[in-house]
Structure formats: C-alpha cells, structure tokens
Structure 1
Amino acid sequence: MIGPGMIERYVLRKTLASLGAALAVLGALVMLIAFVDIARNVGTRSEDAGFGQLLYLTVLQAPATLLTLTPFIFLFGTLGAFVGLNRRSELIAMRAAGVSAWRFILPAAFAAFAMGIVTVTLLNPLTAAMSTRFETERDALMAGYLKNAPKGAWLRQGDDKRQIVIRARMRDTVGGAVRLRGVSFFVYDVQPNGSLVFSRRYEAAEARLEPGFWRLTGVSEATPGAGALRSESASVPSDLDERTASDRFKNPQAVAFWRLPETIARTEAAGFSATPFKMRLQQMLATPLLFAAMSVLAAAFSLRLMRLGGLAALAGSGVALGFGFFFFNELCGALGKADVLGPILAAWTPPAAALLAGLTLLCYTEDG
C-alpha cells in the first residue's frame, strides 16, 4: 500500500541526490579551472604565493563562478534523476499505477524554487563577501607587481542642492578606509530648474574618506574668477561611507543582494545611471523561477518511455535547449544593461520562456 506523499518524497530524494552529484562534479571542475587560472595570473607574478595561498584564493573565487552556473546544476541534476528513474522502469510503474507526471515533477520544481530563494538571500551575500576578500588577498600578494599599475576612479556624490564629481588617478584601501591620490573635486550647485552651475574645484594630493566627509591633504582650491588658494588640509562633506564608496568601484555582480536597493538609490541620487544595478536586482529576483524552469524543462525531456526509444536523443535535446535558454538569459542581461530592454522585461523573459517551454512539452507528453 503506497501512502499519500510517498511517491513525491521518493522522487524528491532521488532528485536531491542527483543534484548533489551534479554540484560535486561541476564544483570540482570550476575549482580546477579557477586554480589553474589563479596559479597562472597570481602565482607567476608573486614570490610569496605558495600552494596554500593559491588554494585559499581558489576557495574564495570559485563559489561566485559556481553560483553563476547553478542553473546547469538543476538542469543536469534533474535530467539525471528522471532518466535514471526511467531506465529502472520506475516511471513506467508509476504511470501504469495512474500517477500523473505532474505529481512527481512539481515537488522537484518547488524544491528548485525554494533553493533559488536560499541562493539569492543567503548564498549570494556570502559569495559577494568572499569575492571582495579574494580581491583584497590577491592584491596583497601581487602588491609588488601592481604597485606601478594605474588604478584610477570616478565618483559622484550629492543631493538636490549640490553635486560633486570626483576624479582620482590612484585609489586604494588601507585598513578598510578608502583613499584617493591625485584627486580633483568638481563642485556644482543645483539650480531651481535642475541645471548645474560650477562652483569650485579642489585639487589635492590625497583624499581619505572619513565618517561624513572627505579629508583632503595638500589642497589647492579654485573658484570662478579668483586665484587658487593653497592649504595643508581641507574637508568636503560627503554622504558616502566606506562600503557605499567601494560599491561604486564594483561590478554589479559583486554587490550583495540585500545591498542592491541601497546602491541603486545612492547611485541615482548621485546622478549616475543605476540600470546595471537594477538589472542585477531583477535577475536575482527571477533566480528562483529560473531554477524551477530548468527543473521542469529537464524533467519534461526525460519522460519518454524507454521502450519507445530515442530517450538519449530527447535528453540531449533538453540539455541543448537548456544551454540555449542560459545564453538567451545572458543576452537579455546584456541588452538590459545597455538600456535596449527594460530591466524587468530583460530579467524575467528568459526564465518565463523556459518554464513555458517545459510546461508545454509536459502537457504534450502527459495529455497528448
């Protein structure tokens, strides 16, 4: 006698085991490639980089890459689980007993959706912190190689009364504090009609971000129609802090999910386009749907009965289609960042299309 929910739990256990195997294989491959890349780029340029340091850098970097490839884990894992059930004739027995395909596919899809939520809310902030740590450790090991490399920066801050554009020839982080060297501050007053009027310019040898202001040293201050005034130090008010200033230097993929809304608000307040960050936020929100879509798509392509033949070809088609949707997702992301598509449309279209394709094939397989 089969109790209620036993089939769902059994299929879910098989799916989770297959997902674990796919994660292990893909994780090992990513770790190997990351280690070789770090050994080539860091190990050959730093005398202090031993095997332990290179392995540590690999552990810090690899999770971010693996997180990007997570849709393939659900594609390969779910496909492997259902093909295995089909080869052992377990799916045939379930179908013969009158069990609908929806009954054992939906639990896997809901599990993928739940894992997507965990990935976005917990794993993404963790990998973002690890990526930041990776950059710090890598730069420390390559300090001698990078000491003469230019590392300039552009920043912008302000509100509805004043806007400040900051240009620095060099930037670095000392003890977590943001420091700029060879820096210029261009100060503009915001007029009632929204236009900007140049107010003054600061040239400084160094600017260090303190709570609530920039501390300038070796300063030359100039205003329109007047000569430059030199002083040892000066301060310029700032609404930035170490974290938000550092976020301006980062790729949107390196900003943690929970910090994206704040980064978007600050970027727009400073007068910059926040489209890349909005695109990243929408992609994060669409991640659970993408994982569920990959699971449904993989399961739908593995339900063909073994006795009818062609299961391997159909499963291969599912893998190829999954790759196609993944690259379609990347293409839409690029179009969204370029403002060709709106962030919501660019982020949600690929997972919605993948889910609809899987559901269509599932309906055709199940109901003819």
Structure 2
Amino acid sequence: MRLLDKYLLRELLVPLAYCLVGFTIFWIAFSSFKDLEALQEAKLRLGDIVLYYVITLPAMVVTVLPIALLLALLYALSNHARHHEITAIRAAGVSLWRLSRPYFAVGFACSVALFALNEFAVPDSALKAEQLRKHRSKTARAAGNPAVILNLGFVNTAARREWLIGSYDLNTAEMINPRVIWTLADGSQRWLYATRASRTNDGWIFYDAREYRDDPGKSANLVPSLMTNVLARHWEETPAQIRTEVKIASRITSPTSREADLPLVEIREYLKLHPVLDKQERRWLETKWHGRLAMPWTCLVVVLIALPFGAPSGRRNVFVGVASSVFIAFSFFVLTQLSLALGTGGYLPAWLAAWLPNLVFGGAGIWFTARVR
C-alpha cells in the first residue's frame, strides 16, 4: 500500500469511527428513554439489558452505516479540499479515480459487512430480543411465548403435502397435535394424526400416530391403515423451512410490518415450498430478493456520490458536507421506498425496482465525478 493510500485511509477511518460511535451512543440513549420503563417492568437485570442492546445493535448498524460512511467521506474530502491537498495530489499526476481507491476499498468492505449482518445477524434479532424481554417476567410468560405459534398451517406445494399443527415451537421444533394430509401419485390421499411430533435425525417422529386413507367409490369415511406409538417419516420439510413459512406468511399478510427484512436463504426456501404463487406474492418476494442483493452495495454508491460533492478544490466549511449528507441520504431513502413500492405493485420489474436507486445515484456520481476539475 502506498504512503498516500495509508494517509487517505487514516483520514477517512477516524471520522467514520467517530460517526459510528456517535450514532451508537445516540441510538442507545434514545432507545433507553423509550424502552427503559418496559425493560424494568420485564424484570431485566443489568446484564440482560446490555445483552438486549447487543442483540438489537446489528439492525441499527445496517441502518446507519451508509449514512456514517457518507458523512465521514464528505468530511474527509472537504477537509482535504479546504487545505488544497486534493489539488496537490492531482497536480502530481494522480487522477481522482486513483486517489479514491482507498475509499472504494472501505466502501466494498462496508458492503460485505452489511450483507453478512443482513443475512446472519439481523433477521432473528427482533425475536431474540422479545424472548429476552419476556424470560424473567411472570406476566409476560403468562401472556405466551413468542416462539410458540398456535394453529399453524402451511402447504408444501411441490410435495403435495399439507400440515395443520395445533402448537409449534420455533426454537425446539416440537409439534402438538399435528395433522398431515398428502396426496399420492394415483390421486388418493392419506391422513396422519398424532398427539405430538419432533425432529430427529433428519426426519419427523410422530407419537401416538394414526394414519388413515380414503376409500374412493365405497365410502366417504376414512379407513384406518396404521396405528402405532412411534412413527418416523423422512419428509423434506425442515424446521428452517417451517420458520421461513411462518415469517414470510406473516409479512405477506402484513406488508407494512416494521420487522427486519428476510434473508435470501429464507426467500429461496419459501419459493421451493411454493413453486406456484399468485402474482402479487411473487412480485413481493422477487422485489425483496433483489432488494436484499442491492441494499449492501449502497456503500459503494455512497463513495460515488461523495466524490463530486467533496473533491472540488476551494476553501469551504466542513459543515457543508454535513448538510449535503442529510439531503443526499433523504433523497436516496425517498427514491428507494418509492421504487420498491412500484416493484411490489407491479409497475416496475422487481430487479429494476430494487437496483434503480443504486443505478440513479451511482450513475449521477460517476457523471459528476468525471466533470470535477
């Protein structure tokens, strides 16, 4: 790494660290004022409260990291331009694109971090935080475990199998009063009833199981075909797929929910279970899929946006960069929400709706950067 790259990188990482720490402190302080009474009512101890904020921290980082990067870039570039450092570097034969190489490296690293957080840390953070809030409170426990879903039903369209479950625990994959109906290749159906079921060795174990078959042409009543204390079925449905079914089904029925977005693996599993969907559901899922792919690259777009705003030479107030970052972030947010709404509504292709903000702002950044003198 050249000495110039090290210098520019250091001058960026310091304000970026300050921005991230500042946003984190502000978020914790604001959240404490809003949630402290509820946390006290939940009988949480100091260690529980610290763990609660650690669990919810990744969701905050995903939201503020692009803004913090934009603010830090504008501050660093404005500071360099104010002291004519960028002019001197370019006079030495270093192009603006070569000068910005450390910034793109940081933007790429932030994009990878955002993707990892979105896929592995954020999706289940809300459920984990809610379970933590309720695990010490008798009143909350009496109100019910958020991980236990009552009267759950889902269909594996590909396998022609329908599940109806009286109670399902998302954490342990324990079922109470499950009923499974499936259709065979010849068109006949089978019914399986059990008092409970659990997942063991890549299969489902049903207890006190009773299996019935239909009797076409003879009687409308079901005919018993099997009764046993323990029955193993190696069906393809997994606890992860059931969790995905619960999460996506609730999001589809409540599209304005403020819960964390769905990871790519869950969207893929849902599409595997439901190869045939109505147009509205498929548009919603495809827009979410492409949105998950496009969102992390916002950090690279931020670099393209910041260069033409911060790099032009001349003496300026560094706080101009702060005002610029607020305006840019607001404009990007508005365009993102509008574009995604057009995608889910069917007015734009799903891929275009998800990538449009990145294309517009990234293209504008490239065009303005090429005109910087």
TM range (shorter): 0.7 to 0.9
Letter of the structure 2 residue corresponding to residue 345 of structure 1? L
Match 1:301 to one of 297, 309, 324 = 309
The separation in 1 between residues aligned to 2:15 and 2:45, in whole angstroms, is 36
Match 2:354 to one of 344, 347, 361 = 347
Aligned with 1:18: secondary structure? helix
The separation in 1 between residues aligned to 2:57 and 2:117, in whole angstroms, is 17
Question: Is 1:246 the counterpart of 2:254 in the alignment?
Answer: no
The CA RMSD over aligned residues, in Å, is: 3.9
CA change 1:10–1:112 in 2 (3 A) is same
CA change 1:254–1:345 in 2 (3 A) is closer
Letter of the structure 2 residue corresponding to residue 213 of structure 1? W
Q: Given that residues 9 and 102 in structure 2 are in contact (C-alpha distance below 8 angstroms), is that contact kept between their aligned partners in structure 1?
A: yes
Aligned with 1:80: secondary structure? helix
Q: Given that residues 150 and 165 in structure 2 are in contact (C-alpha distance below 8 angstroms), is that contact kept between their aligned partners in structure 1?
A: yes
Letter of the structure 1 residue corresponding to residue 274 of structure 2? E
Letter of the structure 1 residue corresponding to residue 72 of structure 2? G
Q: Tell me the CA shift for residue 296 of structure 1.
A: 1.8
Q: Given that residues 264 and 277 in structure 1 are in contact (C-alpha distance below 8 angstroms), is that contact kept between their aligned partners in structure 2?
A: no
Question: Who is 1:52 aligned against?
Answer: 47
Q: Tell me the CA shift for residue 354 of structure 1.
A: 1.4
Question: Who is 1:263 aligned against?
Answer: 269
Unaligned runs of 5+ in 1: none
Q: How many residues align?
A: 351
CA change 1:148–1:315 in 2 (3 A) is closer
Question: Is 1:8 the counterpart of 2:15 in the alignment?
Answer: no
Q: Tell me the CA shift for residue 207 of structure 1.
A: 4.1
The separation in 2 between residues aligned to 1:360 and 1:315, in whole angstroms, is 22
The separation in 2 between residues aligned to 1:302 and 1:83, in whole angstroms, is 5
Letter of the structure 1 residue corresponding to residue 273 of structure 2? T
State how 1:174-189 maps to structure 2 within 5 Å.
176-181=171-176, 183-185=178-180, 187-189=181-183
The separation in 1 between residues aligned to 2:348 and 2:182, in whole angstroms, is 32
Question: Who is 1:145 aligned against?
Answer: 140
Letter of the structure 2 residue corresponding to residue 163 of structure 1? R
The separation in 1 between residues aligned to 2:182 and 2:347, in whole angstroms, is 31
Aligned with 1:320: secondary structure? helix
Moved more, 275-284 or 82-91: 275-284
Q: Given that residues 158 and 270 in structure 1 are in contact (C-alpha distance below 8 angstroms), is that contact kept between their aligned partners in structure 2?
A: no
Q: Given that residues 209 and 215 in structure 1 are in contact (C-alpha distance below 8 angstroms), is that contact kept between their aligned partners in structure 2?
A: no
Unaligned runs of 5+ in 2: 252-259
Deviations 1:14-49 (A, max 9, x none): 1122222221112222333444455344432x23x1
Q: Given that residues 305 and 311 in structure 1 are in contact (C-alpha distance below 8 angstroms), is that contact kept between their aligned partners in structure 2?
A: no
Question: Is 1:325 the counterpart of 2:332 in the alignment?
Answer: yes
Question: Who is 1:215 aligned against?
Answer: 206
Question: Is 1:164 the counterpart of 2:161 in the alignment?
Answer: yes
The separation in 1 between residues aligned to 2:367 and 2:189, in whole angstroms, is 62
Q: Given that residues 190 and 214 in structure 2 are in contact (C-alpha distance below 8 angstroms), is that contact kept between their aligned partners in structure 1?
A: yes
Question: Is 1:361 the counterpart of 2:368 in the alignment?
Answer: yes
Question: Who is 1:108 aligned against?
Answer: 103
The separation in 2 between residues aligned to 1:78 and 1:348, in whole angstroms, is 23
Letter of the structure 1 residue corresponding to residue 63 of structure 2? T
The separation in 1 between residues aligned to 2:71 and 2:197, in whole angstroms, is 51
Deviations 1:57-85 (A, max 9, x none): 11111212321332212211211211222
CA change 1:335–1:199 in 2 (3 A) is farther
Question: Is 1:73 the counterpart of 2:63 in the alignment?
Answer: no
Aligned with 2:361: secondary structure? helix
Q: Tell me the CA shift for residue 119 of structure 1.
A: 3.3
CA change 1:29–1:165 in 2 (3 A) is farther
CA change 1:117–1:102 in 2 (3 A) is same
Question: Who is 1:29 aligned against?
Answer: 26
Letter of the structure 1 residue corresponding to residue 355 of structure 2? W
Aligned with 1:316: secondary structure? helix
Q: Given that residues 157 and 163 in structure 1 are in contact (C-alpha distance below 8 angstroms), is that contact kept between their aligned partners in structure 2?
A: yes
Deviations 1:175-227 (A, max 9, x none): x4212345544x242779xxxx7835556554434432252558696857105
Aligned with 2:28: secondary structure? helix
Moved more, 297-306 or 143-152: 143-152
Q: Tell me the CA shift for residue 93 of structure 1.
A: 3.4
Letter of the structure 1 residue corresponding to residue 21 of structure 2? A
Deviations 1:335-361 (A, max 9, x none): 445555433222222112111121222
The separation in 2 between residues aligned to 1:65 and 1:198, in whole angstroms, is 52
Q: Given that residues 158 and 269 in structure 1 are in contact (C-alpha distance below 8 angstroms), is that contact kept between their aligned partners in structure 2?
A: no
Match 1:199 to one of 166, 189, 208 = 189
Q: Tell me the CA shift for residue 136 of structure 1.
A: 4.2
